[in-house]
Amino acid sequence: MDQWGAIDPRHRPQEPADWPGAIPASTHAAQGPDPSEFGDGDQPRPRVVLPLGLFLLTIFTTLWAGAYNAGGSGLMGPWQFFTHNPWALAKGIPFAATLLGILVTHELGHYLLSRVHRVPATLPLFIPGPPHFIGTFGAIIRMRPILNRKALFDIGVAGPIAGFLVAVLALAVGLSLSTVIPRETAYGLQLGEPLLLQFMSWLVIGPLPDRADVLLHPIAFAAWFGLFVTALNLIPIGQLDGGHVAYALWGGRQRHIAMIAVPILLVLGFVGWPGWFLWVGMASLLGVAHPPVIDPHEDLGRTRIWIGRAALLIFVVSFAPIPFSLG
């Protein structure tokens, strides 16, 4: 069985020990594309070559990452893959299929709701990443500014909720395939413990004996990463999904929330994972405050308010203050 990490319910990827502490996949809907990407009406021009090409390349890099971290031979370099053992790539299917399933669902949530609200948007642009890490930096969707409060909320919240539901299902399956081992035999990079992961580890695997860990199956690790991506995007900064949702719910108070979130993340960068510095910097490029909409006082209705509260709960149970550390 391919095994990836360890939990008590602490989680450590099995290989490699030299994973970089850089920003992993970012999947949020970006605004303000080049107008030439859109037609004269409300619908974007059917540009599919670039999105399709990037997606196919991302399939390859995530398969490679899955096989590499599952111990696939002949995958240390691009030409070794083709010349030594191309069938080793099949070892990456459980990880790649799970991770891409979560990311695609997330992006389709944004895209479909943008179509519902007639907000012109491009197809998701997936970003291939280093195959010795996870193989992707996620995806972005470029769209025209969202000027309607209800549309802003719906488009912003749809992606994280859709991806979260797939991640929870994958996590249950992956944990059921994971293996309990003595803690002394676990090694590698330790993964953070969001509340949901701790609960589901207890629910699926049960209480662990003393000095025991769990080696994560590739499906479980991909699901963990799906939760991580969900939490990243729900941080209420600028034009992240969380910024969209927070502004739709609370208007100008979103800026005050962001000004609280930023120093907290910077402190976590000093005491835990340095990647928070890079993430805060990237997320703040367009400002920590969300741009205004035409009618910020438009009534969202009771249903959307409850969905917004659910999104806040999803953030709380998915967030790991220190997502990566050396075990």
Would you state the pLDDT for residue 187?
A: 67
Would you state the pLDDT for residue 76?
A: 53
Would you state the pLDDT for residue 190?
A: 80
Kindly give, in sequence order, each residue whose CB lies less than 8 Å from that of residue 27, ignoring residues fewer than 6 positions away.
103, 106, 107, 138, 139, 140, 159, 163, 229, 233
Query: Chain centroid to CA 291: how far?
Result: 24
Look at the block and give the residue holding tokens 């995530």: 62
CA-wise closest residue to 230 among 131, 311, 307: 311
Would you state the pLDDT for residue 45?
A: 52
Would you state the pLDDT for residue 39?
A: 43
**CA distance to 63, 102, 163, 173, per residue, from 98 (Å):** 11, 6, 11, 10
Would you state the pLDDT for residue 133?
A: 81
**CA distance to 69, 178, 267, 271, 301, per residue, from 198 (Å):** 23, 14, 24, 22, 34
Task: Work out the angle at residue 125's Cα, subtended by the Cα atoms of residues 156 and 144, and round it to the nearest 5 degrees.
Answer: 50
Peptide bond into 9 cis (omega under 30): yes
The residues spanned by each domain of the chain are 26-326
- Mode of pairing for the β-strands spanning 136-143 and 125-128: antiparallel
Q: How many residues does the chain have?
A: 327
β strands within the chain, DSSP E: 26-31, 125-128, 136-143, 179-182, 189-191, 212-215, 324-326
> In whole angstroms, what is the distance from residue 164 CA to residue 191 CA?
18
Q: Tens digit of pLDDT per residue, the chain (327 long)?
A: 333 443 443 444 443 333 333 334 344 444 444 444 544 444 445 588 999 999 999 999 999 899 888 775 444 555 565 556 667 788 899 999 999 999 999 999 999 999 999 999 999 999 999 887 889 999 989 888 888 999 999 999 999 999 999 999 999 999 999 888 777 666 667 888 899 999 999 999 988 887 877 888 999 999 999 999 999 999 999 889 999 999 999 999 999 999 999 999 999 999 989 999 999 888 888 789 998 888 888 899 999 999 999 999 999 999 999 998 766
β strands within 160-200, DSSP E: 179-182, 189-191
CA-wise closest residue to 244 among 161, 151, 112: 151
